[in-house]
Amino acid sequence: MDQTTVKKSRYGMAIDLDRCTGCGACLIACAVENNVSPGQPKVNERNGTTWMRVFEVQDGRPFPDAQTAFIPMMCQQCEVETPCVSVCPQNAVEVDPETGIVGQIPQRCLGCRYCMTACPYHARYYNWWDPKWPDGMEKALNPDVAPRMRGVVEKCNFCHGRLHEARARAAAQGSRQINPSDYIPACVEACPVQAIAFGDLNDESTDVALLARSERAFRFLARLGTETKVYYLSGRDWVRRLADRELARSKKETLHG
């Protein structure tokens, strides 16, 4: 390929729910990488900032047959009619046409929270407090990522700091095309069981593209038609039925006759 043109990518993820143990390493890695502040004493699970949440779900069967699954949930990177993009009044949310990544521009954000209302995955977080770190901890902040101020919305952007770094590395080598091994989000890197695969969905040779096409792959709320780029994998039927309410209901009806 000509080094002056950039191949269009569609970065996506595939998360294997049958591997995920719910350890939370991805959450911690994400917060450290992206300078997500630990929050104030009054923070609770509803007003704290975390770019990822891990849901614990059970199949409802009694012990010892009970099964549990852990579902990491972050911005699903909607590709079509991206709900948060069209609602933002001042273009603070954009889809990068070169990467397909839905980005948030905190410097432009009004803090109206309309995008949070629009997101079906509740994957957007508002800074209810000023970002503060315990004394000394600010020295460990990632210099590649600007902390966000109070009053703006933030969310997962597939670690854009790492993408910029990969681009800078490619540029230093005279290329505009990044090396795929240079760009891996923090959560993918941190997962001890390698439950998360990341890469370009347009490149059919990548693990993520292969996994997204596998029979175990599904997407949450796919019928909303937003064509998310985060895929989930499970061989367990009851987990796959959690994809939407209609499916979950059909499961209930089967169980209860």
Partner 1 sequence: MDKLLITRGVQRSPFWKFILWILPWAMLLAWGLYGAYLCLAEGLNQTNMDNRFAFGLWIYLDLTVIAFGAGAFFTGFLLYILKRHELKSVINSAVVLGLICYSGAIVVLMVDVGQPLRAWFTFWHPNVHSMLTEVTFCLTLYLTVLILEYAPIVMKNRQIRKVPSYLVFEFNLHKLMVVFAGVGAFLSFFHQGSLGGLYGVLRGRPFAFREDLGIWPSTFFLFVLSAMAAGPSFVLLTTWLVEKLSKKRLVKRETMSYLGKLSGVMLIIYILFKSVDTLIWINSTSPSSGFPAFEYYDRAAFGTWVLFAEVVLFGLLPALVLLRKKLRERMVWLIPSAVFVLAGVALNRFVLTIQTLALPTLVFDEFLSYMPSWQEVATFSMVIAYGVLLYSLSFRYLHLFPQERELTQPY
Least CB distance from residue 138 to partner 1, whole Å? 20
Q: Which is nearer to partner 1, 50 or 175 (CB)?
A: 50
42 C-beta neighbours (distance < 10 Å), count: 9
Least CB distance from residue 153 to partner 1, whole Å? 8
How far is the CA of 129 from the CAs of 28, 49, 107, 160, in angstroms?
A: 20, 10, 16, 23
If we measure between CA atoms, which residue out of 81, 67, 77, 27 comes closest to residue 49?
27
Instruction: Let me know how many helices (H) and strands (E) the chain has, helices first.
Output: 8, 10
Least CB distance from residue 37 to partner 1, whole Å? 13
Residues that bind partner 1 (CB under 8 A): 40, 42, 44, 46-48, 55, 57, 71, 73, 81, 83, 86-91, 108-114, 116-122, 124-130, 150-153, 220-226, 242-249
In this structure, are residues 140 and 105 in contact, taking their beta carbons and an 8 Å threshold?
no
Q: Which is nearer to partner 1, 25 or 70 (CB)?
A: 70
If we measure between CA atoms, which residue out of 22, 46, 50, 45 comes closest to residue 34?
50
Lookup result for tokens 């609602």: 87
Least CB distance from residue 174 to partner 1, whole Å? 34
Least CB distance from residue 1 to partner 1, whole Å? 33
Q: Which is nearer to partner 1, 90 or 194 (CB)?
A: 90
Q: Which is nearer to partner 1, 76 or 206 (CB)?
A: 76
Collapse the DSSP code of 52 into the 3-class scheme (helix H, G, I; strand E, B; otherwise coil) and give the result.
Answer: coil
Q: Which is nearer to partner 1, 129 or 184 (CB)?
A: 129
Least CB distance from residue 9 to partner 1, whole Å? 24
Q: Which is nearer to partner 1, 46 or 139 (CB)?
A: 46
Question: Residue 16: which H helix or E strand, with range?
Answer: strand 11-16
In this structure, are residues 230 and 80 in contact, taking their beta carbons and an 8 Å threshold?
no
